[in-house]
Amino acid sequence: MTSAATSLPSPPALSPLVMLCLAATWLVWGSTYLAIKYALISFPPFFQMGTRFVLAGVVLAAWMRWRGAAWPNLQQWRNALVVGTLMLGGGMGGTAYAEQTVGSGLVVAFIAVVPLMIAALNLLWRVVPGRMELAGIAVGLSGVLMLTQGAGFQASPAGLAAIAMACLTWSLGSVLSQRSLPLAAGAMGFASEMICGGMVLMVLAWASGESPTWPPAPLAVGAWLYLVVFGSLIAFNAYMHLLAHTSAALASSYTFVNPVIAMVLGVAVGGEHITGTEWLAAGIVLCGVVLMLRGVSTQGR
């Protein structure tokens, strides 16, 4: 197992498909901050995310089945339930709960630590990131912390515990999907994970007493559909593909880029004003990502 694990990433690490998947997680997930805000007008957080992942998972599974893919076996469904519970139920659900009482700046700062958490968990399998990747993580994290200066850092104890647990469960689920709990082959595995994780989120929605506003606002419906198609079907599948075909550090680089994308969208759509320090922080984040790309490219030679 150690030998197989340490062989990642497999060359060529930066294939065109990998670059497209990176673009999806960077750009699409960066835009979901705004989409989630609009969807919350009518759809509460657990319900919003649970329905979006269940629908995306069912659509993807039906499509793959129509193309001749086999259904996951019992063990693969079990693995999908474990990974989906950790990544979607714990990661997405915990973040949604935390955002009710935790300032946005603190949420972003916590999420930016995910690459370090993943790197630390990978050490259990004796998988050590390269020096360039570690340097990229450090530079990217420092840029995100600069970007959050002056943002809200208020937090309740419960919210703080929730965001910390969300980051840990997302990181653990990411690593286990790579190392110990293989899903069904290809997109069928990602579909099963979304279905299982989405059902866990629906249970959380029921336990929390959530219910959508009816009839929903057209803007909320449009944002929800965007999250289903782009946030779940495209970006989440892209992230899982990255976990399977490149290093965990590069796969999780979206945690650095997303705040920058959200900042740019805030300027373009929300009419927000950005200071010189924030632009500098965005540049530092991009330097960190370049270092990680450089490190993976070097390993792929």
Interhelix angle 45-66/186-207, nearest 10 degrees: 150
pLDDT of residue 29: 80
Q: In whole angstroms, what is the distance from residue 172 CA to residue 154 CA?
A: 26
Match 């630590």 to its residue by tokens: 113
The pLDDT score that the predictor gives to residue 8 is: 42
Provide the pLDDT for residue 67.
85
Give the pLDDT of residue 103: 62
Read off the pTM: 0.76
Instruction: Give the whole-angstrom CA distance, residue 2 versus residue 122.
Output: 11
Q: Would you write out the chain's pLDDT as a tens digit for each of its 301 residues? A: 333 333 444 444 567 888 888 888 888 887 777 787 788 888 888 898 899 899 999 999 998 888 888 898 999 999 999 999 999 988 888 887 777 776 655 666 677 777 777 777 777 777 776 777 777 777 777 776 676 665 545 556 777 788 888 888 988 888 888 778 888 887 888 899 999 999 999 999 999 888 888 898 999 999 899 989 998 888 888 888 888 787 777 787 787 777 777 767 766 665 656 666 766 777 777 777 667 666 554 554 4
Instruction: Provide the pLDDT for residue 101.
Output: 73
For residue 74 the two structure tokens come to 């019992």
Task: Give the pLDDT confidence score for residue 149 in this predicted structure.
Answer: 63
* Helix axis angle, 131-147 to 276-299, nearest 10°: 160
* pLDDT recorded at residue 292: 67
* The pLDDT of residue 38: 82
The C-alpha atoms of residue 230 and residue 225 are separated, in whole angstroms, by 8
pLDDT of res. 5: 36
